[in-house]
């Protein structure tokens, strides 16, 4: 399946099932910026390149699920100062596309490699990851995070008297502050999901991100309290992300459509979880929140985008429970329509009472290779 938005930027997302990945031909990674491998374990030899790769322990779901995603750019091979476009900065692997104006970066850290000097190993690992990310972006002149994907093992577990998601938020915000980044307002679109099935001694923090010399424009949801303004009951530091972000590619094509990234979105109204225990109702509420973000983006003067135009990734907490995955699919298709471009994975959500989370994007090409 191939779907390209009219006047889309050169940015393209290619999704591969295991069967599609086994059938790739030479040149399939031409112009690739970075990739995400779902399900944990060892990626196939076809991905054994210098391409930045985020390895995520979130098992893909379905009969022939998407196991790998590759973000493609404009095929630029060099950055603006004559250095190779691919490299490593601290703990960050990256690739730059100067024509498009994007960096894709990935970080995978073992928590056990970090001392819990002030807080926890997870907090220390998170702060280290983001300090190095911002160090890379400042060195390359790409200071603005556009979209971030965070995957935290056992995200809802309590350790050292605090939920691990809250520990992650402390480490992230400390790095934002230390690197003089905003922590409210024009912050990047992001998600934070719980990787599953990792033994405690092998827990990893995995981060993938896109960054640019051009700042995205944040979009908030009028149905929800902005995450960075959550009350103290949700932790000592609020999450540092916007509900969505609109980014314009650095191309010479003034007619190129902007790219919209909708952050991980769940069944939250105001700042409270609604429909506890009802996965279908939570899915419908999540879609209602995404629709509200699209409406707000249009009011803010950005392109009008409908729900069917989005590509979705759906995170389901308990997909093995009888009827759960089918209920989520039916609720999504009932709201968006049949033929919706959606990939499903198993993951824990940042609140223990949330059963599903949905992220989305539009304005880029999309191709599914099965």
Which DSSP category does 43 fall into?
P
| E strand or H helix at 137 | helix 121-140
CA atoms within 13 A of residue 118's CA, in its CB half-sphere = 5
Which DSSP category does 38 fall into?
E
Q: Residue 160 region, left (φ>0) first, then alpha (ψ -120 to 50), else beta? A: left
How many whole angstroms separate alpha carbon 167 and alpha carbon 230?
A: 16
- Does residue 77 sit in helix, strand or coil? coil
* Terminal C-alpha separation, the chain: 8
Token pair for 255 = 């007619």
Sign of the four-CA dihedral 74, 297, 194, 322: negative
CA angle (277, 283, 287) in 5-degree steps: 145
Catalytic residue among 295, 357, 359, 367: 357
How many whole angstroms separate alpha carbon 17 and alpha carbon 39?
A: 12
- Does residue 336 sit in helix, strand or coil? helix
| E strand or H helix at 282 | helix 279-299
Q: What are phi and psi of 270, to 5 degrees?
A: 70, -115
How many whole angstroms separate alpha carbon 260 and alpha carbon 350?
A: 23
How many whole angstroms separate alpha carbon 364 and alpha carbon 249?
A: 10
CB 255 within 8 A of CB 299: no
CB 123 within 8 A of CB 168: yes
Which of 7, 210, 205 lies closest to 113, judged by CA? Answer: 205
**321 annotated active-site:** no
| E strand or H helix at 22 | helix 18-22
Q: Which residues are catalytic?
A: 357
């Amino acid at each position: 399946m191939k779907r390209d938005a009219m006047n889309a930027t050169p940015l393209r997302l290619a999704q591969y099932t295991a069967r599609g990945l086994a059938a790739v031909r030479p040149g399939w990674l031409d112009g690739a910026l970075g990739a995400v491998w779902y399900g944990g374990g060892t990626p196939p030899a076809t991905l054994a390149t210098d391409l930045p790769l985020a390895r995520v322990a979130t098992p893909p779901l379905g009969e022939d699920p998407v196991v790998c995603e590759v973000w493609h750019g404009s095929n630029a091979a060099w950055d603006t100062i004559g250095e190779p476009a691919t490299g490593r900065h601290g703990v960050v692997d990256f690739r730059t596309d100067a024509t498009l104006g994007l960096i894709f970066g990935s970080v995978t850290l073992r928590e056990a490699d970090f001392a819990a000097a002030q807080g926890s190993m997870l907090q220390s690992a998170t702060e280290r990851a983001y300090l190095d990310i911002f160090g890379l972006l400042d060195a390359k002149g790409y200071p603005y995070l556009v979209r971030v994907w965070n995957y935290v093992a056992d995200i809802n577990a309590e350790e050292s008297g605090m939920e691990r998601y809250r520990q992650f938020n402390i480490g992230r915000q400390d790095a934002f502050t230390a690197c003089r980044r905003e922590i409210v307002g024009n912050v990047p679109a992001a998600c934070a999901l719980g990787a599953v099935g990792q033994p405690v001694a092998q827990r990893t923090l995995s981060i993938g991100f896109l960054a640019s010399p051009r700042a995205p424009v944040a979009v908030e949801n009028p149905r929800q309290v902005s995450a960075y303004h959550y009350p103290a009951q949700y932790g000592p530091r609020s999450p540092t992300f916007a509900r969505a972000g609109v980014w314009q590619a650095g191309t010479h094509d003034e007619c190129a459509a902007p790219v919209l990234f909708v952050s991980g979105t769940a069944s939250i109204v105001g700042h409270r979880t609604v429909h506890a225990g009802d996965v279908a109702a939570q899915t419908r509420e999540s879609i209602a929140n995404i629709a509200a973000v699209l409406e707000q983006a249009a009011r803010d003067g950005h392109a009008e985008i409908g729900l069917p135009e989005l590509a979705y990734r759906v995170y389901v907490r308990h997909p093995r429970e009888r009827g759960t995955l089918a209920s989520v699919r039916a609720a999504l298709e009932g709201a968006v329509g049949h033929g919706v471009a959606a990939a499903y994975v198993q993951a824990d959500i940042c609140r223990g009472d949330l059963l599903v989370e949905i992220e989305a994007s539009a304005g880029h090409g999309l191709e599914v290779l099965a």
